[in-house]
Amino acid sequence: MSSLFGTDGIRGMAGEPPLDPATVFRIGRCFARQGCRAVVVGRDTRESGPWIEEALIRGLSSAGARVTSAGVLPTPAISVLCRDSEFDAGVVVSASHNVYSDNGLKFFTGRGRKLSRRQELAFETLLEADNTSSAVPRPNSWNPPALIRTDPDCLESYSGFLRSALEVESLEPLKLVLDCASGAASQVAPRLLSDLGAGVTVIDAPPDGRNINRDCGAVHPRRMARAVIRTDADFGAAFDGDADRAILADGRGRLLTGDHILYVLARHLLERNRLPTRRVVATVMSNLGLEVALANLDVALVRTRVGDRNVLDSMLEEGDSLGGEPSGHIILGEHSMAGDGILTTLKIAQIVLLERRSLAQLSAGLRLRPQLLRSVPVGGRGRDLLEDRKVRGRIESVQESLQGRGRILVRCSGTEPVVRIMAEGEDREHLEECVAGIAAQIRRSQAGLAAPAHTRQQERQ
């Protein structure tokens, strides 16, 4: 397992290793040394984005790469540009749904795919052997206007791709609410959907470098849902900071997860003979209700490990055309190799128009089972804690208490220093007790790991 890469690239606090200027410079240099000749770089709207991008570009250029800066652009746009343009690699400076003080680096190959685990490990080996001592840039003072400077060719190429995926000439007379999370979607989504004829109400669009994902977007979608009711919209979409995912709300203001979206898309594609394998790829986090609803359509649900890259790998291996995660990463294999919140929103709008049914009606065939999610901060000790005897014992006890009518999943996040607990079953109160018990044991064991060595020895005695 790579120690530098998580489930979605490199991520951490901006200004601290591995996202300090010197390390980012070395990362860029080593990435270019892997044969990257023409690289496109994009970023989201975090205040640290400009100086991280500068350090990265200097590193890429120092190793001979020709670099094009796309400015602020959604992560899936970089995937599209790598696949359809002259670029043989791409990098996105983004921490996705994380708070503004974090940042990250996402890497794409010339085919528009994220690096494989094998490629990540090879990259780490190269980085560890690099002894570059070249001068690296110091973080510049942040200038807000820089957040909205985008290479028009890159932006227009991505907008053209989105238009080409639409099978209706206009989105009129739909009324939509878009929550842009004060992130990268602000550059594309409002203008595009308005140009396509939709009546658009936009919230949380203007970025100031620190408001990305702050009480808004896919992680906090309730403001969007309330706006749907207030404006009598057909539905709403809340994107995350780099717009690679979306959470929706139907016209009643009911929030719809990625599982709902997968169900609506699968049924629509199936009826049009465009789901040839009769399979949908999801992760272990998808609700059991999705599995049951798809089975009623004679469609199988295939589960992978968490991460949209794992979903895509499974799709490509078996020739599947649809996959995604409950968090709103949806991969439409007919069009893209990456999760794309704006593309997902366009496709759902198209289905509403073509079928002349509301989003509430389209998603009515899916009944989710009660599911609880909780994140427990653990610093950098997540893996140690999951190997702790008492934590393992508590998890096993909880699983037994579900008596085969539910499931429990406890894992280290690949994007944040937390342990994530997921419980699913029939009795919500019992699930709350289960999750609380596991979380409490993780905190107790964490305190034990933090205690001085002689204290831990005395406790064992």
As annotated, the active-site residues are 96
CA distances from 22 to 97, 136, 248, 353 (A): 25, 6, 40, 51
292: helix, coil or strand?
helix
CA distances from 265 to 325, 401, 453 (A): 13, 35, 54
Taking the CA atoms of 170, 269, 348 and 336 in sequence, report the sign of the dihedral they define.
negative
Return the closest-CA partner of residue 99 out of 227, 12, 18. 12
Return the closest-CA partner of residue 240 out of 340, 92, 373. 340
- Residue 34 structure tokens: 């892997």
C-alpha 96/C-alpha 277 separation (Å) is: 31
- Which segments of 229-293 are extended strands (E)? 235-239, 246-250, 255-256, 279-283
Tokens 């804690």 identify what position? Answer: 385
Q: Are strands 38-43 and 66-72 parallel, antiparallel or unpaired?
A: parallel
C-alpha 374/C-alpha 438 separation (Å) is: 10
